[in-house]
Chains A and B, each alone.
Chain A
Amino acid sequence: MKKIAIASLALGLLLSGKSVLTAQLPVAGVEYFQPGYAYRNLLNPAFVPQWGYVGVPVAGLINLNVGSNLGIADLLYPLENGELATFMHPEVSSEEFLSHIKKRNKIGFDLNTNILSTGWFWGKAFWSVHVGLRASVQAALPYELFEFAKNEMYANPSQYTIENLEAVAKAYLEVGVGYARPITEEITVGGRFKFLVGVAEAELMVDRMDISLGDEAWRIQSNADLRVFGRLLASEIPEDARFPSFDFGAIAPSGYGAALDLGAEYRPNFLKGLRFSLALNDLGFISYKQGDISQYTASGEVVFDGFDNLGTDMDVDAEVDGLMSDLQEMVDFDETPVERGLTRRINTILNAGVEYGFWGNRFSVGLLSSTTFYRAYTESELSLIANIRPARWFSLSVAYSFLGGRNGIGWALNITPSNGLNIFLASNYTPLQVSPQFIPLKNAHANFQLGLTIPLGRNRAYTQEKDPRDVNVFPYSFKDPENHPNKVMLRKQARQAGKAAELEKEQD
């Protein structure tokens, strides 16, 4: 039953079409420097949380991320009469619209869940195990595609070359075992091995499309490949159809693979509170067997050089239908044999951060660079993050991302009562400009994270000195020796005791 639920969720996400395709993959963000965040070790396997934990099944982690480097304000424009129109409206100039369009325009969706997870301290090491589902859809649309859509014909002939139009959707399950431990007083390293089970994957690659539109002919030459991996998505080209149709297939693993996460943290002694971290996550692949791959190719040239029966007795509607039919030949896919199995790498993420904590680490500021290597494109982001940990049970982070076209504010809340559930809520992207419907105007990014874990053991941020084995697994303490609550209390008690003694003396 669980398998069906997982498969259904994954497939639903894969097939849910446009609404999902307006998204962006998750990268490490505001939660990166949140020590209370239980799954921080997923961002950098060298990180260890404040507590050991057991994730709430299924809801242990839900990280939804949608995004695009295009926003609603890039595609919709207010007119002088107050109406809102698409970029195709005559009043929207080509120059204005295209100034908003990037060289590669990306849209994406990503889901990262931990279905089962746990982590615990063992000696000087921190171990973690998780079972998670990863699903993502990405598409990269080149500038020329939008240029063509807006300008179409600007001269005779008008020519376009559209290259590397890609769309990739994939889903896989991962089972990971992580390990982290300090190797010196200054350095902690960690790693995770993940066994990957492919659920489904599809990729559409339009290598090149040459378009020439003129009064002699409309000529479109295209070369596109579509591959479908796995048995969950059964595909075939129906009779009299041009494009493959998809249906549910067998619920069975479609491919297997493995991945590694590697990370390190460096805390130099010359400046207490300064921390450098580096992680390379998801360095891996999934292999699909030959029999689990369907491959389709659409290649050729469509030329329209005029109507067939030009004359006063011409059936205009029929001829236009014929023209549309000709254009549809561009997506006239034919199934081609698959000669061997294929291996697809998964999206690798490189996180690099530097953080400085002060006031007994109750405050810190950090700079995080996160780069994701998609098949279709590479995504980078730089975030400035401020963290405050005013109490044992509460921490808050605020981030501002200012590279990668995703300018926006992120926030994270971590609430950990002394006894009970650890609740983590975060959003990496809270856009600064939105429509009344809260649609980002400039960069359509949105992220939501929910983590529900049950803390295990003591809060190591405050109990380090009480560790009987003097093992400093949690590498930095929130304890300020001079301002530790115990010392404050002792000083208070001392002051109160001192005052009482003076009173006694006076009374004596």
Chain B
Amino acid sequence: MGKFSFRALLAGCCLAAAVAFLSCTDEAYDLKGGLNMEMRVGGDSLYLPLGSTTDFTIKELLGNSELSSLLVLNDAGVYVLRPDLQEMGVDIESIDPSSLQIEDVVSDTIFPLGMAAKASAPVGATFGLDFLFADLPGSVIDLNRLVFDERTYFELSITFPSLPEGWDLSRITPALDITLPSVFIFPEGTGDVIHVDAFNTSSGYVQTLPLHEILVDAYPVENHSMHFVSEVAMTGAFQLDETLPLPSEGLEVEISCAVRSIYPEQVEGILNPRVDPLEIEAGFGDVPGALRAEGTSLDFIGPYLTLNLQSNIEFSLNANVDIVPVNGNVPDEGMRQVLELEIPASSLQGSNGNWYYIGDAEPADLPEGYDFVQADVVAMLRQLPDRIQVAVSAAPDTSRAYVYSFGETYQLDAAVEPEIPLVFGDNLFIAFSDTLSGLPSGLSSYMTDGELVIYGDIHNSYPLEFTMEIQALDADNRLLELQTSGPQLITSAQEGETSSSVEFRFADPDGILDQSSIAALAVHCEASTNQGLEGKAIKENSSFRAELKLRKTGGIVVDLNE
């Protein structure tokens, strides 16, 4: 290689080295230490349409709770809280008729017939039918009538036990008048007097009359027994055949009056059969805690209970109706309402018994067939109880007499159905809270810069005014004292729908989120009414819908290295 070539090569190498040298290395861009992957996503002002909630009708708000299933629309299109009709029945004590089923009551007398009168032998007597009803049930206080079934009858018999030889009944002609007791009630058409002017059997005369009733109102029931004697009066004579000599031993005639086969079918009087107390409950199911929380005032207008009492006994019953709200198993004694009701005899009841409308004030449009009963139902429901317990203690009205038929099964049935129209006064207050968990991890880190704003419009067609506040909680459900915009007001709808703008701001100027992160959002809402909203009803179309958006100033900072 010549000298010149070597120099040229050297020059070329120097030039190449110079080129390499000129390539400056900037240590600031050294990738060896890795990249900081913190990134701002969303720009300076991240806007996100969160969307629209469903229309929260009252049914939606209550969700799948039992309470929701109790909501029905009434004829006016107003939601009413109507627990299922609860029914219960008890038997009324049966009065045993056996104490009135006594042996046949018989009174008989043998009269001698002498020939002194020759042509006629006068007879006159009184037959006392002695009735003794011992061991009457205690529920029998007094009796007015005894009504018998078709087997019971009165019998008059005339016999001649020792008719002399040569005599027969053809030689004796009766002419008797038997006067029956006025307390005996026979079938219509039967006279008070039995005229006997001929024998009707080979041995004499027998007459039976079905005995319907015996009037016993004149006889008191004392010491569980009643005793009386009913007299049958007989006058008249027997005409004897004068052509035949009368035997020396004379002639005898036996006359008997009896009430046989005594089978009472009914009694009328003052009775007091025992009626077992009955207890029914109308439950509201699993009531959300907010509806019974401290400070909650539901302030319903016109809530009422319908109570149906029905008996098939022809007695008027006096009933004590004890109504008390129960939470858990603890009755709220302060809210107990005791009502005194009269249950008419069955014949005076409607076809479905007697209906009572129990409420604070009698409505102008009291449904037909209902009896209004005043009770402070509003107070009772101010905080919705688990259930309303209704105890009915009934007893017959012993100031009056009624008919009791033996063999019947008497019972008293009761049914209660609260009906709470969702119409509120001006003093409603409900506070409820919910927690939104399952938030995106790292939410706190998104908020270290700028502020997070959830905003939008809330459309409200409830006649309620709401305030809503959202606060952040840490993993232990402790409140994080972030800077927020406080409660937001959602105005109420007098008619139709209102739209309220809300804005929930969260900012962390104090660096609270450096210490603990957001694990959940607590949503606190209060519903209330005021004077202008009194009497407005929650209807089928009453709803609450939120159209929400999100704004995050400063965007969201994420660190992909984490």
Q: Which of A's residues lie within 8 Å of B, judged by CB?
A: 72-73, 76, 78-79, 82-86, 88-90, 94, 150-158, 213-218, 304-312, 314-317, 320, 388, 390-391, 393-394, 396, 398, 409, 411, 413, 430-439, 441
Contacts and interface: CB of A to CB of B under 8 A. Distances in A.
B439 A316 contact: yes
Interface stretch (B36-44, B82-90, B165-173): B36-44
B475 interface: no
B440 interface: yes
Given A312-B523, A394-B5, A434-B24, A317 B438 contact: yes
B5 to A, nearest CB: 4
B63 to A, nearest CB: 9
A83 B440 CA distance: 28
B30 A390 contact: no
Contact of A85 (B36, B44, B45): B36
A430 B33 CA distance: 25
6 contacts: A73-B26, A76-B35, A84-B33, A153-B555, A310-B546, A390-B4
Contacts of B11: 388, 390
B354 to A, nearest CB: 47
Given A86-B39, A398-B15, A311 B28 contact: no
Given A306-B52, A316-B440, 18 more contacts: A72-B29, A82-B28, A83-B36, A84-B34, A152-B42, A154-B45, A156-B45, A215-B49, A306-B49, A312-B435, A312-B523, A390-B8, A390-B9, A390-B11, A394-B9, A396-B15, A435-B30, A441-B26
B23 A311 contact: no
Nearest to A306: B51
Nearest to B46: A153
**Residue among B36, B37, B41, B54 with the most chain A CB within 10 A?**
B36
B22 to A, nearest CB: 6
Contacts of A409: 19, 22-23
Contacts of A304: 49
Contacts of A309: 54
Contact of A435 (B5, B16, B29, B438): B29
B434 A312 contact: yes
A430 B27 CA distance: 18
A430 B29 contact: no
Contacts of B193: none
B12 A316 contact: no
Q: What 9 pairs between A and B have smallest CB-CB spacing?
A: A306-B51, A390-B8, A152-B43, A88-B39, A435-B29, A153-B43, A215-B549, A85-B36, A78-B28
B36 A153 contact: no
A430 B24 CA distance: 11
A396 B9 CA distance: 9
B453 to A, nearest CB: 10
B7 interface: yes
Contacts of A435: 25-26, 29-31
B50 interface: yes
A433 B43 contact: no
Contact of A436 (B4, B30, B435, B523): B30
B35 A85 contact: yes
A307 B53 CA distance: 9
A177 B31 CA distance: 47
Given A83-B33, A151-B43, A152-B41, A307 B50 contact: yes
B400 interface: no
Contacts of A155: 45
A494 B322 CA distance: 149
A433 B549 contact: no
B23 A76 contact: no
A216 B44 CA distance: 17
Interface string B51-81: 1111000000000000000000000000000
Contacts of B45: 153-156
A436 B49 contact: no
Contact of A433 (B4, B9, B23, B546): B23
B25 A434 contact: yes
B51 A88 contact: no
Contact of B25 (A84, A154, A436): A436
Contacts of A311: 53-54
Contact of A84 (B15, B36, B548): B36
B47 interface: yes
B307 interface: no
Contacts of B293: none
B51 A307 contact: yes
A241 to B, nearest CB: 26
Contacts of A85: 35-38
Nearest to B550: A215
Given A152-B41, A310-B51, A89 B36 contact: yes
A432 B19 CA distance: 8
A86 to B, nearest CB: 6
B32 A437 contact: yes
**Residue among B23, B49, B557 with the most chain A CB within 10 A?**
B49
Contacts of B19: 398, 409, 411, 430
Nearest to A393: B5
A441 B23 CA distance: 11
B194 interface: no
Contacts of A317: 438, 440
**Residue among B33, B435, B555 with the most chain A CB within 10 A?**
B555
B449 interface: yes
B557 to A, nearest CB: 6
B336 interface: no
B5 A310 contact: no
B16 A434 contact: no
A434 B45 CA distance: 35
B436 A312 contact: yes
Nearest to B51: A306
Contacts of A391: 2, 4-5, 8-9
Contact of B51 (A73, A151, A305): A305
B50 A84 contact: no
A82 B4 CA distance: 50
A84 B29 contact: yes
B35 A432 contact: no
Contacts of B40: 88-90
Contacts of B2: 391
Contacts of B546: 310
B24 A433 contact: yes
A151 B44 CA distance: 7
B27 A436 contact: yes
B551 interface: yes
B48 interface: yes
B39 A432 contact: no
Contacts of B440: 316-317, 320
**Residue among A305, A312, A393 with the most chain B CB within 10 A?**
A312
Contacts of A215: 47-49, 549-551
A54 B12 CA distance: 27
**Residue among A84, A320, A394 with the most chain B CB within 10 A?**
A84
A476 B9 CA distance: 23
B59 to A, nearest CB: 14
Interface in B85-100: none
Contacts of B50: 306-307, 310
Contacts of B43: 150-154, 158
B35 A437 contact: no
Nearest to B2: A391
Contacts of B27: 436
Given A79-B36, A153-B42, A435-B30, A413 B24 contact: no
Contacts of A305: 49, 51
A480 to B, nearest CB: 13
A213 B555 CA distance: 13
Given A90-B557, A434-B26, A413 B12 contact: yes
Contacts of A153: 42-47, 555
A176 B115 CA distance: 178
A84 B30 contact: yes
A436 B33 CA distance: 11
Contacts of A86: 35-37, 39
